[in-house]
Amino acid sequence: MNMTGGDMILAKVGVVIPHFNSVNAVIKLLDSIYNDNKAFNLIETVVVDDKSTDDMHLLEEKIDDMENVKLIFNSSYKKGAGVCRNIGLKNIQSKWLIFADADDYFEENLINKILKFIDSKADIIYFRYISRMIGTSVIANRHHYGNSLLENYIKKPYSKNESLLKYNWVVPWGRMIRTSIVKGNKIRFDEIRVSNDVMFSMKLAAHTKNIETSPEILYCVTKSSGSLTTTKNKENYEIRSYVTIDRYLYLKNNIKAEEFKPLDIYFGKWLLDGINLYDLSLKEGFQYFVLFKKKGIKFFPKLSKIFKLSRVVKETINEKNFKTNKG
């Protein structure tokens, strides 16, 4: 594991950033962290490069001149954001932990937003976030679901809404995490191509006793047409399906029944997405149906959701017929 960077001093917040061939973007991200001089004493940042093939000299020069910023090169035989985040975790010593992706950035007044919670007794502090199309100011749609979970809990901080927030917030960013919860329970990211953050988030939530929330927007996640998040292929679908099963079984066996019940986990919508978006054949879809049923996962949700699902079924069948007729 090779390493470069400026001097490191004791900080209270650590930021972990996996990076691959996004030099200009990660420089923008670093600038969004260190645009306030107070940040250099408060925040340590670890950028883990995942065997980039692009020229790295601009990033190396940038980090060499920055205190409390470290660039580590992934020299293992594995690749992926999960691998890089695990490397970053090993090199963070601060009280709080924040994750960021190289193509994203923090909103203004980052320091003031996190300083409010530096002495918090909570294990996780959840913030609102925004999403934009990459390289533009155009608002995207990646923030809607997470913000709805947060806003529902802020309005009605009941146990049901707390469970929905904790166990349906699967992305690593948009929150401050107490580092000791992660390291003390040996929570790590799955080292797989996609969905490497899901089980990390589930295990983190299961070990979390106290949470706090902020209505302020901490982070901007970008959206592009070619990212792993938007790439739809059968290999990614298979990986995500097994992660879905792992999530279900872990939560069923490791959290209280009153926490698990509100989640109402089912696979019908995901199976329909496989046929419609990932281009699974009906035979392949049936094989996944059998797999999910064997694991005890429901196909249908509660009655209140069935009507919505039936509409999706009709739309999926119509879309499949359209593709067939067009072909």
HEC per residue, 210-260: CEEEEEEEEEEEEECCCCCCCCCCHHHHHHHHHHHHHHHHHHHHHCCHHHH
Give pLDDT tens digits for 92-114: 999 999 999 999 999 999 999 99
How does pLDDT run across 30-81, given as a tens digit for each residue? 999 999 989 999 999 999 999 999 999 999 999 999 989 999 999 999 999 9
What the block records as the tokens of 131 is 């999403």
> Residue 51: CB partners within 8 Å, gap ≥ 6?
20, 73, 74, 79
In this prediction, residue 305 carries a pLDDT of: 55
Helix (H, G, I), strand (E, B), or coil: what is residue 321?
helix
pLDDT band at 322 (very low <50, low <70, confident <90, very high): very low
Interval 204-224 mean pLDDT: 98
* 186-211 residues labelled b (16+ CB within 10 A) or e (exposed): ebbbbbbbbbbbbbbbbbbbbebeeb
Please tell me the predicted confidence (pLDDT) of residue 167.
99
pLDDT of 87 over the 90 cut:
yes
∠ at Cα 102 (119, 178), nearest 5°?
20
Q: Name the pLDDT band for 301 (thresholds 50, 70, 90).
A: confident
Average pLDDT, rounded, for the chain: 92
Name the region of 302 (left: φ>0; alpha: ψ -120 to 50; beta: rest): beta
13 neighbors 69 (Cβ within 8 angstroms): no
pTM as predicted: 0.89
What is the Cα 131 distance to its own chain's centre? 13
The alpha carbon dihedral of 154, 157, 161, 162 has a sign of positive
Report the C-alpha gap between 301 and 285 in whole angstroms: 18
Measured CA to CA, the distance from residue 217 to residue 105 in angstroms comes to: 12
Give the integer Cα–Cα distance in Å for 43 and 204: 22
Domains and CATH numbers, the chain: 2-223 (3.90.550.10), 234-326 (no CATH)
